[in-house]
Each structure stands twice: as C-alpha cells, then as structure tokens.
Structure 1
Amino acid sequence: MHPQVQAVTERIIARSRPRRQRYLQQLQNAVQQGPLRGQLGCTNLAHTYAAAPVAEKLILQQNHRAANIAIISAYNDILSAHAPYQSYPQQLKAALAKAGQVGQMAGGVPAMCDGVTQGQAGMELSLFSRDVIALSTAVALSHQVFDGSLLLGICDKIVPGLLMAALRFGHLPAVFVPSGPMPSGISNSDKAKVRQAYAAGDIGRDELLASEMASYHSEGTCTFYGTANSNQMLLEIMGLQLPGSSFINPNHPLRPLLTGAAAARIGEITALSPGFMPIGQLVDERTLVNAMVGLLATGGSTNHSIHLPAIARMAGITLDWQDLADLSDVVPLLARVYPNGKADVNHLQQAGGMPFVIRELLDAGLLHEEVNTILGKGLRAFTRVPQLQTDGTLQWQPVAAESSDLTVLAPAHAPFLREGGIKLLQGNLGRAIMKVSAVPDDRWTVQAPARVFSSQQAVLDAYRAGALNRDVVVVLRGQGPAANGMPELHQLTPALTNLQDAGYRVALVTDGRMSGASGKFPAAIHLCPEAQQGGMLGAVRDGDMIRLDGHSGTLTVLTDGFMARPVPALAVVRQQGVGRELFAGFRARCSRADEGAISIGWDDDDNEQESTS
C-alpha cells in the first residue's frame, strides 16, 4: 500500500471514529433484531402480500427463509440512461423467482436530467434532488418487509441519493443495477466545436440541434465522462455493482444476463444467507478512499467532491477536501475520455474498462484490496470482465494484460499524468476545487484582473458584447447551495473556451458548480464559504488582481487591503416558479459544499463539532 494512501486512510478513520462507532452500533442493533417481516402483525403482512401473484404470496407467507427484495427504480423516459429500466423490474423478479425468492417494486424516485435543465430555472432544483431521492428511497424501505434492495439508478444525483439512503438502512444489503451507455454518436470533440461555433455566432440553431441530436441519439447514458459515468465508475470500484458491468450498452446480449446475475447475487448476501453482507459494513473508510482514488485516476466529475462527503456522512464517516488533494498528489491519471480526451466511455470499455483500471491501481498499491464487496472479501475479483459463452451463459475472465488503446487507457507505470485530475485550491478567498485533467498544464496558472458577475446570463451577455476580450478572471458569485441551490454553470464552457482559444489568459472563480463534463479552462469552483454565507468572494470588486495557481494549489486576491474590506451582505433572492419556492427549506438548511451540501439529517447529533484535520 502506498504510504500516502495509507496515511490518508488512517487520518479519515481517526477523524470519523466517534461518528462511525455510533453508526455501526445502530447497524448492529438493527441486525440483531433480525429480518422484521416475520415479526410484523398479520394486518401489516396482509397489506404487503395483497397485490402479489399467488405463487409469491405462498412464498412470502410460508417460507420465512425466502428473501423479499425491494426494487427501487429511477425509471423515466426523459432520461435516456434510465429509459431501459422500464423492463427491469420484471427481469429482476423473474431472476429472483428462479431462486425461490421474491422481488417487490418498493418505490420510484425522481430523476431529473441535468442535460435538459442546463441554463434553465429548473437547474436550481438539481443538487437538492439528490436529497429528495434519498428521502424517497428511505420511504420505500421504511415498510421494513425487505431483506435487501436492488437499486436502479445511473445519472448525476440519482446514484448518490440512492446510496445515501441505502447507507441509512445499513443493516440491509444492496446491489446497484446499471443499464449502460448509448452507442457512440458523433465525437464529443466535434460536438464541442459546434457548440463553440454557435457561441461565437458562426452557425445557427438548426445546425446546433442537428449536432446535439447526433450525439444524444438513443437509450443509454451519455457517452462523455461526466457525472453519470463517474457514478458508474465509483459503484464498480466500491464493489457495489458487478465487475465490468458499468459500460456495456443497453442492447448488448450481456446486459440481461448481468441484470439477472445482480438479482441472483442480492439473494446470496441477505441475513437469510451465509454470505450476509450489509451495505453499512461494506462501505467503510477504505472503500471511500478507493472511490476517491478511482475518481482521480480516471479524471472523473468534480461533482463528486460534493457527493462523496455526503455519502460518507451517511455511513458515519467524515471526508475532507484535503483527503482528495493529498491522494491527488500520488494517484496517476490513467484515462483520457472526453472532456479529458477525444474518446468516449465506449472506447474506455473497449480498451479494458474498469477491470483494467482497478487491476493497475491495485498492483500499484493505490487501492485497498481487502475490502468487502457484494462478491465477498477482496477487490481483486473486480479485475475480471464478463463474457458471453457459446452456450449463452455468463462467465467472468481476467482482464487483458495490456490496454488495447494506449491513447485512451494507460498502465500505471506510464500514465497520462503523474498526478490525479482534481486539485484543492486555498487562499484568502477560501477553499475551492479545480479540475486539471482536461486543462493544459501551461494554463494551470492565471493571474489577471477580475470581472464580477451575479448570474450566468450576465457573463454570456458580456462575452457577446466583447467586454471579456482580454486576460480576465471571471468571478461569478451567489451560485452556492444556500443562494440558489448551486445550479451547474455549463453554459459558460463554450464562451470561456473561445476566449482561451483566442489567446487570452482566462479563468473562472465561483461558489457554483460546473458540469461534470467541463474542464477545458482553469476554474476554481465550489468555493467555500460561499458569498451568500459571508464568504470573501462577496468582497471582490471589478479590477481586483486574482491569482489562480493549480501547481501550488492557491487562490488569492493580490489587491492590497483586500482582507480588511467589509463583506457586503448579498440580497436574499426569493426563487419563485418551476417549484423553486418548495426548496427554500433545503437552501436554508444545507451544509457547505465541502461538507457535502447536505440539507437533510444524517446523525443523532447533527450539531457535533468536528475537526477537519
């Protein structure tokens, strides 16, 4: 084990000990009660069984050793990635029935598409939809008639929300069931060029729409390496879904076999089986370190710098951005997938996929191998790939010794970068995250005067008016979770990339988020404390000299006397329309971005003061 990885792990264990001990005690208390289905009253059980087919009623009524599995789905057909889930409940139920077990559709969770809401008012609901999903999942599991859960979700906030709730029911096992990415359309780099041309006014709306529809063209996850596909990487490297299952297309003949295998596996790890593995024991400090290592090694979405602390909290574990930064110093970048390269996730899969990444990181001593997974003890089982046999059955084989495309997937001894793809920036503005994997290293440092804005549209208006045609640090404030729900600011990407391509030194500093697919220009994002909560970002003025340095990990206003300035209070904007008023309580309660931007309770003592050392 690399000493830096071990040191970070030990630091997290020490920091989390009181909260983690309380969590594990809560889990153990629930385990000792045993499966609750047999302890419920007859009226309770009758309601549970009422709508079940006769055969399932007999199993549930007569065989208390047969597992009853909750199926929780984020199906809708506005998300291409989730549209395949329409048929999954019946597939899963059929696979469980073969083992003499039962699956019940326990609940659905909302699933919004950030691609649809980008730049729209609805995007202000996006981050907090994660917490709504966690609450919805908890409601589904609260019936207490289930021995485990199969969780159907892929995209941006859905997987974190499902996982957060599953960890609060940590005495139950859980298996995630993916559906895979859509086949490749036009290349992501060509799509980006068309967007930049539209931002520059060189082409019209019809050409832009034709390009977008050639990229997003069928069922399946979008093929760039944004938050949705980063979710799938995390679930696999955390041992929460089957090896090699993340990036197989929805219509591939392996897909129904993998779905059936996921159902079979959950039945083998309930409290009714010898292989009992509750998710609260599976996900521990080592598992979360593995997740951070995977995120850095693949150049994954910066959104996970928010989601991982939130997920960890639900398991009684406290992560800090410094953990991510210290791991980034020693974890090499092994993948080049758009926006970090020209390839998409289908090319990543063809080059060796997650089994190759996991094997390389294990062999380099950068992952904890002896962790619990849904397959039992040890992550080495996740270095295998699923293969379709001539008799139509599914088997796993060791991943190939070499990457089949060294421009997409590199071995650990010859990585694309010696450091990971995410940096922590600190200075007199606070703390921020910077994604460096897609930014040329000669652009990691920018020193330029500030132009201050309070909305994404104002930045775009200034760009179109030519007011940003110079070296500039665009400061966009009032975009944090407490201000407006922290919508993604992806619409800025084409405009600021155009300025950079024109030869200007350009950077963005914001308390908001960028898309998981962003990263072409240097950006200090998720700045804490946010301006709405009194952060120094609120004191920045036009013309202040700002230095952003990804090499040294610093973000500093250089103007004399800056720290002595009073911080003006930002006006509280009453968000109305598109349901935003319903989320006022979420905005008022949420924690800082570096604490996960959590707006729901997670512990018996939410006010406990903790060290972030």
Structure 2
Amino acid sequence: MSSSRIHPVIADVTARIAERSAMTRSAYLERIDAAYADGPQRRGLACSNLAHGFAAVEGVDRDALRALRKPNVAIVSSYNEMLSAHQPLGEYPAWLKKAAAGNGGVAQFAGGVPAMCDGITQGRAGMELSMFSRDVIAMSTAIALSHDMFDATLLLGVCDKIVPGLLIGALSFGHLPAILVPAGPMESGLPNKEKARVRQLYAEGLATREELLDAEAASYHSVGTCTFYGTANSNQMVVEVMGLHLPGASFVQPRTALRRALTEEAGRRAVTIARGEEYTPLGRVIDEKSVVNGVISLLATGGSTNHTMHLVAIAAAAGIQLTWDDFTDLSAVVPLLARVYPNGSADINHFHAAGGIQFLIGTLLDAGLMHEDVRTVAGDGLSRYRQEPILDDGELIWRDVETRSRDEDVLRPAWRPFASDGGLRMVSGNLGRAVIKVSAVASDRRKVEAPARVFTTQEDFTEAFKAGELNRDVVVVVRNQGPRANGMPELHKLIPALGVLMDRGHQVALLTDGRMSGASGKVPAAIQLTPEAAAGGPLAKIADGDLVRLDADSGVLDVLVSDQVLAERELVDGPPDEASWVGTGRELFGILRRAVGPADQGAGVFGPLTPGHFGTPVHTNMLEVK
C-alpha cells in the first residue's frame, strides 16, 4: 500500500514528527553516513589494533579477518541462566557463527549486557535500578561495538529494558545493519486469569503463601518469555512491526526446530546485508514512519505503558522527537484489535495462534493504518511481514497467512475492533500529565472522583489496606516513585489489594509518578505522572482527603484544590536522600538518578539532543535530589 492511502491523522502525525525532528534527525544521519565504510569496518585499524581483534580467532575465520575478505558480525547478548526469557540465548552464538560462516561471513561474540527481571525484583530494592538498567545496557552495547571490528550486529534480547537498551546502544552505530534475535514465549501454563484470582485471594488473606507459590510456579514454569502481554511481549510486537526481526520471529517458542531455523537465518541475513545486498543500516530502518508503526502496534494491541517511555527514548537515539501528544492523537484513530491478558483471558500463545503479528499487520495495512513503505531487515516494505515462517521438509520458508482471524475473541480485523480507539490514553490537568491503560478497564470504571489517600511506599499502602483503612471510595496516591526519586519502580504489589476494593463496590483509582508496565489490569491507574513529585510537581502537595478527579474518557486529571491552597502547603515528605538510597547496588547509580530526564521525555540519562531536550537535569526542583 502506498503512503498516499494512509489515514490522514497518521499521515499528519508522521509529518509533524519529521518536521519537529528535522534538525536532530539530519544531524544523526550525517553522523552515521560519515561512519559508514564501503568495505569491512576493521580495514582502518592499525596493524597492532587489528591483530588484537583476531588474536583469539582460529582457522579460516582468522585468515578472513586478517585479509579483510569477509564481513564480521557482532553478537551482543543478554544471556544469563537465571531468567527464563534469556536462558535459551545460551545456544545461539554457536548457531549464529555457523550460519554466518555458511553464508561467507564471520561472527564474533562481541559482548554481553546485563538483564534483570522486574518479576523477580518486584517490590524489592533492586526494582529501583530497573529503569536505569536500560541505559546501562545501552552503554554496554556501545562498548561491545566500539572496537570497529564489525560490519553488522545481531542483538540477542527479549524483556523489559533489555530490547530498548540494545537498540539505543546500537543506534550509536546506526551505520551498521542490526537484527534483533528473540527467544520466544514459554508454553502456556496456569491461565493468567486464575493466577490473578489467587493473588487477590492471598491479598485478602484467603489463600496461603504455599497456594500462592503453587499458582505462580504453574504460571512461570519453563524457559521462554512470560506469556502475559507485558513489556517483554510488547517489545517483540513493536520491534517486529518496526522491521527489526525477521518476519514472524517474535512468538515462536524456544526449543523448537522453527526457533532454531529462524535464529540461524538471522545469522545468514546479517551477513547478506553487511555485504551490501539490500543494505539496511539500523539508523535508516528506524525512521519516522517505522516509529509511528511501532506506536500503532502498541495501541492496537493494548500493549505495555512502559513503551510510552521506551519508544520515546529509542526514537531520540535516532534523532527523532516523539512525544506523548503523538501517542494521544494516534490512539484516537487506531482501533483496539487484541484481547490478551491483562486486557483479556488469552495469553500471547493464543494471540499467535489466532494469526498473531502477521494478521495484525495485514489488517492494519489494508485499513490504511500503518505505513507500508518502510525499510526492514527482510527488505523494503512492511508487506513482507504479512507472511509467517514454516519448515517445509526442514527448509525455512515464508507463506501467506489467512486473511481472517482464527479466533475473534482474541484478535479481530480493523473493520470490527474491540474498541474504536487504542488501549492507551493520556490524562492531564492541574496535577500534570499521566498515562492510563484503558484496554482492560471496564467502561463504567474509567471515571473516578474520590478522596485521596497518600503514601510514599507500597509497604505503607499494604499496612493501611490490611488495617481496613481503605474500605471506601479512594484514589490511592503513591508519590516519590518517579525516575528522579528512586528510579521509577513498577508498583504491581498494589494491584491485588486495589482489585479487592473494587470488587467490594468502591470507586477506586491509582495515581502515581511510578510505573505499572503492561499488567495494571482492571484498576484505573494514572501512572508516570509528570512532573514527578521529586521534581517539584503538584503531586508533592496532595494531602489525605483532597478530592481527585480522574476521567480517562475525557482525558482529565485534577485535584479539586485551588492553586493558592496548594502553593501555601508545606512539603511533608520527599524522595530518599543520597545517604539512605543505598543497598542492593543503589549507591552506584546516584549519578544516573541525578541526571535522569522526565517520563514524557523517555526517562533516560542521555542527551540533550537539543537545548532543554532529553536527559537535561532540572536544577530548580522543589525537592532537589542531593
């Protein structure tokens, strides 16, 4: 489909992004064009430098690297044995090296990056390092690629901050082609809805810890990505739609012949691109149109709210200025086409079986709701991603998918959506700006006006809930959870108890400058509030009993207190000071905490691209982080 058939709002949003980004994008492209070399990157190295680069290599690969005959592909991996999503990556380097060699190239393991799991650190001090880990991963990726030995990159990663971090780092080497190589989801276990039911029973004291652990272990039970539609699976959705996976690679399970075949093909394809055949450097695959396509896929599936920050940061690394206004305007015209837990009972395997990304891309292209004329690692044009991979007598081929969904309870065509607009919305008012995921929130629960009850920790909230202090209509405010306060942890421990209060018939909402990821579920949660309390935002002045109005349908978020009253209030709490923000390695991240930018600008530490843009520390805070 040509760009002339694209929906006018999508065309307008794309055009204004390009106009807004003209200077920064042009500067970025000039930089990566200057870094491009017509031939192996390593040919500019002095003899001593080059000798170090192939000292550990043996046989024909050593000769090829020395003679500058073959492209050399960097493997950068988040492999570790502890995390189920990343454990399968341990086998990949050997497969990729063999595949690259079979296509006339060389592959070297260039470096590893850290990978932490928000599921393990949930509610723990380690979670306060989670958002910062994205930028550490980006820097680790840059270090791995800094040797000028490589002509393409294979990025091995799956979850939360790992994929965005790999991309941000690789975009500093945007003159190189890059392919993301996923691991795939674990097999379906205990249904997510049943897991949520047991969690809520435990919050009420009606289930034992052993019963809760049994449910969790039955849900997270093998290698692969968790099967609910949180940030990890949103990552896979977004990067495939942006043309950074091989078509159909996202949701093929580990330990299958097809998974291995796709992984090996990524190694071969990286060599082909590096030789100059269909040359698609990363910095040109990620452009204004592909970024908009990524946002659209997120909205059409009710994906993770974390991507309102990650996509902004990824775009910025490519010189593209994406804003929350762009999300808002796109959400108004992009229909919700998927019901995957927490906005439905199905898991990601059911979504894949119903037609998955291939059907989603096809129906959105046919409706004029995605840009087809983009570059991808599979070649120009997004239509290639309407095809699914299969093994035919052991050979990897791609075939067209059905033009109808195999299960319309899970995945629908654009002309018959679950909802006429996207699953994410922005709300704003005298408290600032926040994100709310509405795809799983019942329509009669999207407007809440109730007294505030203010907390600064999840533990304080839990004590109040257990003491019966919240059995009423309430807007639970959890502040000093933003990036500058304590690294912006996810606050999932709040959800089971809030669900209990909702089921008792109360009006309930959550308001926070922290995060919730893709699992906020049925509770209306205005999150990532900007400006955060630690940066002097009005959230710092809310008091117990203040009426708060949250209306996701009209986009309103207000505290019903006059500006004068708010201004006259004394601050009663603040973020942890440097002396107390210690333990679990937090003391090593103080410099990132001081430098991090706001959530609506990506919550990153890099920049600025332009004066006052991403990552610029604000030194006029009411609550200065010392």
Question: Where on the TM-score scale, by shorter chain, does this alignment land: which range?
Answer: over 0.9
Q: Is the counterpart of residue 377 in structure 1 residue 377 in structure 2? A: no
Q: Identify the residue that residue 51 of structure 1 maps to in structure 2.
A: 56
**Displacement after TM superposition at 1:566 (Å):** 4.7
Q: Cα offset for 1:565?
A: 3.6
- The Cα offsets for residues 33-53 of structure 1, whole Å up to 9 and x where unpaired, read as 754311211111111111112
CA apart distance, 1:323: 0.4
Partner of 2:17: 12
* Residue 156 of structure 1: aligned partner: 160
Q: Would the aligned equivalents of 1:59 and 1:66 in 2 still touch at CA under 8 Å?
A: yes
Count of residues in correspondence between the two structures: 606
Map 1:470-549 → 2, pairs under 5 A: 470-549=472-551
- For residue 492 of structure 2, give the secondary structure of its aligned residue in structure 1: coil
Following the alignment from structure 2 to structure 1, what is the Cα–Cα distance between the partners of residues 70 and 104? Answer: 7
2:183 equivalent in structure 1 = 179
Distance between the aligned counterparts of 2:608 and 2:539, measured in 1?
Answer: 29
Aligned to 1:135: 139
How big is the shift at 1:55?
1.8
State the TM-score, normalized to the length of structure 1.
Answer: 0.97
* Partner residue of 2:556 out of 533, 554, 558: 554
Among 157, 174, 191, which residue is 1:170 paired with? Answer: 174
Q: Is the 8 A contact 2:72 2:106 kept in 1?
A: yes
Task: Tell me which amino acid in the other structure corresponds to 1:413.
Answer: W
Distance 1:296 1:162 in 2: 23
Q: CA deviation at 1:564?
A: 4.0
Q: Does 1:459 align with 2:461?
A: yes
Which residue of the partner structure matches residue 21 of structure 1? 26
- The CA distance in 2 between the partners of 1:36 and 1:78, in whole Å, is 35
- Per mean C-alpha deviation after superposition, the further-off stretch among 458-467 and 568-577 is 568-577
1:95-106 equivalences in 2 (<5 Å) = 95-106=99-110
Q: Structure 1: which 4+ aligned runs deviate by more than 3 Å?
A: 32-35, 560-567, 605-610
Q: Which letter maps to 2:465?
A: Y
TM-score by length of 2: 0.95
Establish whether residue 447 from structure 1 lines up as the match of residue 449 from structure 2: yes
> Are the counterparts in 2 of residues 539 and 565 from structure 1 also a CA contact under 8 Å?
no
Could you tell me whether the CA contact under 8 Å between 2:141 and 2:166 is conserved in 1? yes
Q: Is the 8 A contact 1:131 1:598 kept in 2?
A: yes
Map of 1:581 onto structure 2: 587
Distance 1:150 1:540 in 2: 48
- 2:411 maps to which residue? 409
Identify the match of residue 305 of structure 2 among 284, 288, 302: 302
| SS of 1:525 mapped into structure 2 | strand
Q: Distance in 2 between matches of 1:65 and 1:423?
A: 52
**Structure-2 change in CA distance of 1:455 and 1:508 (3 Å):** same
Alignment of 1:38-437 (within 5 A): 38-62=43-67, 64-270=68-274, 272-389=275-392, 391-437=393-439
Structure-2 separation of matches of 1:369 and 1:131: 31
Shift in Å, 1:214: 0.5
What SS class does the counterpart of residue 373 from structure 1 fall into? coil
Give how far 1:237 is off.
0.3
Report how far residue 520 of structure 1 moved. 1.5
Identity score, percent: 56
Mapped partners of 1:563, 1:344: distance in 2:
44
Whether contact under 8 Å (2:123, 2:491) holds in the other structure is yes
Are residues 572 and 207 of structure 1, via their aligned partners in 2, closer, same or farther at CA, if it must alter by over 3 Å? closer
For residues 496-534 of structure 1, the C-alpha deviation after alignment (integer angstroms, 9 at most, x for no partner) is 011111110000010000132223110110000000000
Partner of 2:604: 598
| Superposition deviation, residue 601 in structure 1 | 3.7
Q: Give the aligned residue type for 2:211.
A: E
* Counterpart residue number, 2:620: none
Q: Structure 1 CA distance, aligned partners of 2:360 and 2:307?
A: 18
Paired residue for 2:622?
none
Choose 481-490 or 560-569, whichever is displaced more: 560-569
Do the aligned residues in 2 keep the contact of 1:536 with 1:567 (CA within 8 Å)? no
Tell me the SS of whatever aligns to 1:491.
Answer: helix
CA distance in 1, matches of 2:227, 2:72: 35
Distance 1:563 1:366, change over 3 A: farther
Structure 1 CA distance, aligned partners of 2:607 and 2:567?
A: 36
In terms of mean alpha carbon deviation, does 24-33 or 214-223 score higher? Answer: 24-33
For residues 429 and 575 of structure 2, what CA distance do their matches in structure 1 show?
A: 25
Measured in 2, the distance between the counterparts of 1:401 and 1:14 equals 36
Alpha carbons of 1:45 and 1:251: their partners in 2 closer, same or farther (altered >3 Å)? same
The CA deviation string for residues 173-225 of structure 1, in whole angstroms up to 9 with x for no partner, is: 00011110000001000000000000110011111111100010000000000
Q: Quick check: 2:247–2:378 contact (8 Å CA) kept in 1?
A: no
Q: Could you say if the C-alpha distance between residues 502 and 338 of structure 1 is closer, same or farther in structure 2, counting changes exceeding 3 Å?
A: same
* 1:231/1:608 CA distance change after superposition, 3 Å: closer
- Between the aligned partners of 1:462 and 1:99, the Cα distance in structure 2 is 62
Aligned partners of 1:388 and 1:394 also within 8 Å: yes
Q: How far off is 1:99 after superposition?
A: 1.1
Change (3 A) 1:82 1:608: closer
Deviations 1:404-427 (A, max 9, x none): 111011111111111100000010
Residues 265-307 of structure 1, C-alpha deviation per residue, up to 9 Å, x if partnerless? 111112x323211110110011100000000001100000111
Distance (Å, rounded) in 2 between the aligned partners of 1:554 and 1:347: 35
With over 3 angstroms needed to count, the CA separation of the structure-2 counterparts of 1:606 and 1:258, relative to structure 1, is farther
Q: How far, CA to CA, are the matches of 1:393 and 1:562 in structure 2? A: 70
Kindly provide the CA deviation profile for residues 432-472 of structure 1, in whole angstroms up to 9, marking residues without a partner as x. Answer: 00000010111110000100111111111111111110000
- Report the alpha carbon displacement of residue 608 of structure 1 after superposing the two structures with TM: 5.6
Q: Could you tell me how far apart the structure 2 residues matched to 1:220 and 1:583 are? A: 29
Instruction: Return the alpha-carbon distance in structure 1 between the equivalents of residues 474 and 613 of structure 2.
Output: 41
> How far off its partner does 1:562 sit?
4.5
User: What whole-Å deviation, never above 9, does each CA across 1:105-162 have from its counterpart, x for those lacking one?
Assistant: 0000000011100000100000000000000000000001100100000000000000
Q: Which residue identity lines up with residue 44 of structure 1 in the other structure?
A: N
- Matched with 2:624 is none
Q: Tell me how far 1:570 sits from its aligned partner.
A: 2.5
C-alpha displacement of 1:32: 5.2
Q: Secondary structure at the match of 2:334?
A: coil
